Amino acid sequence: MAKKLYIKTYGCQMNVYDSARMADVLAPLGYGAAESPADADMVILNTCHIRERASEKVFSELGRLRQARAERRDETGADMIIAVAGCVAQAEGAEILRRAPEVDIVLGPQTYHRLPEMVARATRARSLKDGRKRRGAGVLDTDFPPESKFDHLPAPAPGQAVSAFLAVQEGCDKFCTFCVVPYTRGAEFSRPVAQIVQEARALVAAGGREITLLGQNVNAYHGEAPNGSEWGLGRLVRHLAEAVDGLLRIRYMTSHPRDMDDDLIAAHAAVPQLMPFLHLPVQSGSDRVLEAMNRQHKARLFYQIVERLRAARPDLALSSDFIVGFPGETEADFEATLKLVEEVGFAQAFSFKYSIRPGTPGAAMDNQVAEAVKDERLQRLQAVLNAQQVAFNRATVGRVLPVLLEKPGRRAGQLVGRSPHLQAVHAPADQSEIGTVVDLRIEDIGHFSLSGSRVPSEQRASRSTFDTLQEAVA
Ligand code: SAH
Ligand code: SF4
Ligand code: F3S
């Protein structure tokens, strides 16, 4: 009998990927997608622990689910399995089961290949009389297992998104002093090349045209190659571009500046499928703060990498992550960040106020920055970043960009896709064109997307006509 599964995903791309894979793991048990939690036989909250208030969010969502489950039971007699997955589950699993008895299953980011077993155990834990879970009978599986989940996952199901994610690397050994990821995702490891190629081919066979290679430190990738040697990310990108027919575009994220090696930078010049857009978090422009954050590089390294990347690929656009108000950050430190932003120029960026994470070294630092100061710095930083983003988008007006059409747009007769620089672009197009790259002349910029008109392909600009970001934001 068909059962329905609803997965609510928080956090980063790794979680988005994991949610898709959890659906793949549960498909053989008869689970298909539900429209809403209310009509689901199983609900999974795939949680994120990166900043404060993550767990409160989970508990309030669980309160709503408890209600939805009770209503469903009253109306239809059907039950609902509630699972909490992801990084909050990894960090606070036992606490979740204690505080929220309605939760049947708690699982971590490295154990979801065992979901069928967990579902069987959770089902057995229900009393036969009234379907209620026996107290204390919740299933907890937040190990870091010796086996790799990737060796036990089914092939991606048909009907994949045009732009698909593929995790090539997991975990993190960097231990930035603000960050929970090394604790919630575990130690760094890389998948073998052959397994990645197989999954990439399956994604393309299932409708994928663009693949974003994922990892918390994706450019620290060092996987086993078919000939037994070890390949870095640059070599992997070149290999995928050659070995996977029908793969039109490749991206990767998230990278660490320290791991941008020569080969990867060279791949930006050599591989046309590798899109000229890079998310490269720097966090701060101050050496003092970078040191306190344990980023293990100086601001100078970031400037140098950007220069080399732009030499390799002049139309490369950059994105980054910034944290303001890290313990000990002075006004001068913050100004160094502003200076970096002004000198480098970003097409887009994410910026956050430092958030204390229990258990990380930053939480124990005694020079915490006042909330009001963090607020003020964040506003100043975002004003500059937003202005750069608008300028970057505005510079595309009148230009022709190749856009990979992904899905229906806001209005009928429209599709939305992505430019090489990851800008969303709306344009008149037919459903049948989903998954193809079309040339669009950018007409206008809106808050969240650009709009374009069709250009016959012979008028198409060559790939190098796009000015460098530096010119665009000047
Ligand atoms: N692995 C990636 C980022 C993972 S988390 C990297 O190394 O860049 C995504 C972003 O969240 C980080 O880049 C950082 O900017 C932000 N972040 C992480 N921990 C944070 C914290 N405690 N407070 C505020 N922002 C944080
Ligand atoms: Fe977190 Fe730093 Fe690892 Fe990124 S590199 S996941 S910020 S510890
Ligand atoms: Fe959040 Fe975990 Fe990703 S903490 S950012 S979901 S790795």
**Quick check: is 271 in a domain?**
no
- In the reported structure, the alpha carbon of residue 181 is separated from the centroid of ligand 2 by a whole-number distance in angstroms of 6
**Quick check: is 255 in a domain?**
no
Nearest CA to ligand 3 atom 1: 48
pLDDT of 471: 53
Residues linked to residue 348 through DSSP beta bridges, in sequence order: 319
**Quick check: is 406 in a domain?**
yes
Q: Which two tokens stand for residue 371?
A: 């909330």
Using alpha carbons, select from 85, 88, 47 the residue that is nearest to residue 357.
88
**Quick check: is 443 in a domain?**
yes
Q: Which of 121, 141, 161 is the last residue of a domain?
A: 141
pLDDT of 467: 46
* Alpha-carbon span 413 to 335, nearest angstrom: 47
Q: What is the residue-averaged pLDDT of the chain?
A: 93
Query: Is 135 exposed, middle or buried (CB count within 10 Å of its CB: 0-12, 13-18, 19+)?
Result: exposed
**Quick check: is 392 in a domain?**
no
The answer to whether 251 touches 279, Cβ cutoff 8 Å, is no
**Quick check: is 427 in a domain?**
yes
Nearest CA to ligand 2 atom 1: 179
- In the reported structure, the alpha carbon of residue 412 is separated from the centroid of ligand 1 by a whole-number distance in angstroms of 38
Q: Which of 141, 171, 200 is the last residue of a domain?
A: 141
Report whether pLDDT(34) > 50.
yes
pLDDT tens, residue by residue, 127-164 = 655 556 666 678 999 999 999 999 999 988 888 899 99
Name the residue of 44, 48, 84 to mutate for ligand 3: max ligand atoms within 8 A of Cβ.
48
pLDDT of 468: 43
**Confidence (pTM):** 0.94
Query: Residue 108 maps to which CATH number?
Result: 3.40.50.12160
pLDDT tens, residue by residue, 66-116 = 999 999 999 988 889 999 999 999 999 999 999 998 999 999 999 999 999
Atom of ligand 2 nearest to the CA of 216: 6
* Structural domain count of the chain: 2
- In the reported structure, the alpha carbon of residue 20 is separated from the centroid of ligand 3 by a whole-number distance in angstroms of 15
pLDDT tens, residue by residue, 154-209 = 988 888 899 999 999 999 999 999 999 999 999 999 999 999 999 999 999 999 99
Q: Which domain holds residue 461?
A: 400-472
**Quick check: is 384 in a domain?**
no
Query: Residue 460 maps to which CATH number?
Result: 2.40.50.140
Name the residue of 44, 49, 90, 174 to mutate for ligand 3: max ligand atoms within 8 A of Cβ.
49
Q: Which of 91, 126, 141 is the last residue of a domain?
A: 141
**Quick check: is 76 in a domain?**
yes
The answer to whether 7 touches 19, Cβ cutoff 8 Å, is yes
Which amino acid appears at position 187 of this protein?
A: A
In sequence order, the 6+-apart residues with CB closer than 8 A to the CB of 469 are: 310, 316, 317, 318, 345, 346, 347, 392
Q: What is the C-alpha end-to-end distance of the chain, expressed in Å?
A: 60
Q: pLDDT confidence of 463, banded at 50, 70, 90?
A: very low
